[in-house]
Structure 1
Amino acid sequence: MNTVVQQRRRNFTYGDYRHWPEDERWELIDGEAFNMSPAPSRQHQDVVVEMLRQTANFLQGKPCRPYVAPFDVRLPKAGEADDAVNTVVQPDLAVVCDAAKLDQAGCRGAPDWVVEVISPHTAAKDHVRKRELYERHGVKEYWLVHPLDRVVTRYVLANGRYAQPLIEEAVGRTAVACLPGLEIDWEFLNPPDDTRPGPAG
């Protein structure tokens, strides 16, 4: 697979993607393949797990469902057959409220809320390519969480376009506009005070 991607960067489809080795993780954006290795950092995973926990607790008994990567989200053009789809992404966190979009392969169509936790090797793709992609396919709300800087950038869809980004410190609580009542509590980003004196000598 690696050799093929090096030779031909575009025009891959979900039909190709389904036959790639299961121990490799890739995303397709408009037919271009992006290798998702190396594995995310521990801090990245801590953020994803905590955001999933808070979201899943809030959604208990509600129709919306949260998913974390690896979870394939296919973003087809209107009427496009699965094998012809050339965009398949694996958001760090995705919430899907329309059960008709869910199948055994993952999600076909835009989730309602998508979160990407920024890593150095994904920052440009997440801020530019994925922002444009999620806007085009109608993702209602897109968050980019910067754990090192403790900043969250939020895009909310209005009339088919993302409004100006809301860039805020990840402190206190931040409401999810498309899921009224859900607020992410950022307390987990504040490490415990580790300045306690050591044992007396």
Structure 2
Amino acid sequence: MEARIPKVYTYTDYLGFPEDARVELIDGLIYDMSPAPSRVHQEIITELITVFNVYIKKNNKPCKVYAAPFDVVLVEEGQDESKATNVVQPDVSIICDKKKLTERGCVGAPEMIIEVVSEYNPSHDYVRKLNLYNQFKVNEYWIINPYEQNILVYTYKDNIGYSSPKVYTFNDKVRVGIFEDLIIDFAQIKEVL
């Protein structure tokens, strides 16, 4: 019996998927994003986007903040984006290099990505996406777990990548590495959940 080699999908294939398909491509494999996120998941994202947008406008930063669904196409250096095999929809993406922005989303690594853990597939954020974001040198990656009420903060270091994360709880204030003077008080976020 012949072993089947799974099809490796590209960004070109992804653009041909039905519009209502909520999927991501990682290493050319399709990962389903269903079902819809929980209310608490959405509350956390809404609060964070508000904090980031207020900070960016107040401090006249050149950055933009986007919530899923927003395509982030991760490309190898010199790779044609149509051949990219990694297309993700992070819960929150912060992009400060506007040259990365296209009509369809972002091509290249955002400066910061935040994922709020889903109860249906936590390993997607803790393993698969952690490795992917490390590979593509995302400067800062936060994993927020609303069930354990903790935040893991990974910071990319040249020639090293991500090392052990800083761990915070929903009672802590967390400094945003890409904006040295922005501190997010998770106790305030916890109040609205």
Q: What's the TM-score, normalizing by structure 1?
A: 0.88
Match of 2:54 in 1: 57
Match of 2:100 in 1: 101
Match of 1:48 in 2: 45
- Structure 1 residues 105 and 191: alpha-carbon distance in aligned structure 2, compared to 1, 3 A threshold: closer
- Structure 1 residues 93 and 8: alpha-carbon distance in aligned structure 2, compared to 1, 3 A threshold: farther
Match of 1:188 in 2: 189
Instruction: Tell which deviates more after alignment, 81-90 or 179-188.
Output: 179-188
Aligned mates of 2:172, 2:123 — CA distance in 1: 27
> What runs of 5+ residues in structure 1 fail to find an aligned partner?
1-6, 193-201
- Give the secondary-structure state (helix, strand or coil) at the position aligned to 1:40: coil
Instruction: Tell which deviates more after alignment, 166-175 or 46-55.
Output: 166-175
Q: What's the TM-score, normalizing by structure 2?
A: 0.92
Listed as ranges, the matches of 1:25-174 within 5 Å are: 25-60=22-57, 61-160=60-159, 161-174=161-174
TM-superposed CA distance for 1:179, in Å, is 1.5
Counterpart code for 1:177: G
Counterpart code for 1:181: D
Aligned mates of 2:142, 2:30 — CA distance in 1: 23
TM-superposed CA distance for 1:170, in Å, is 2.1
CA contact (8 A) 2:153 2:167 kept: yes
- Give the secondary-structure state (helix, strand or coil) at the position aligned to 2:133: helix
Counterpart code for 1:146: N
RMSD in angstroms over aligned alpha carbons? 1.5
TM-superposed CA distance for 1:122, in Å, is 2.7
CA contact (8 A) 1:73 1:88 kept: yes
- Structure 1 residues 191 and 72: alpha-carbon distance in aligned structure 2, compared to 1, 3 A threshold: closer
- Give the secondary-structure state (helix, strand or coil) at the position aligned to 1:88: strand
CA contact (8 A) 1:10 1:33 kept: no
**CA deviation digits over 1:3-36, x for unaligned, max 9?**
xxxx975400001000111011110001010010
**CA deviation digits over 1:144-177, x for unaligned, max 9?**
0011221001100112411211112122321111
- Structure 1 residues 170 and 9: alpha-carbon distance in aligned structure 2, compared to 1, 3 A threshold: farther
Counterpart code for 2:191: N
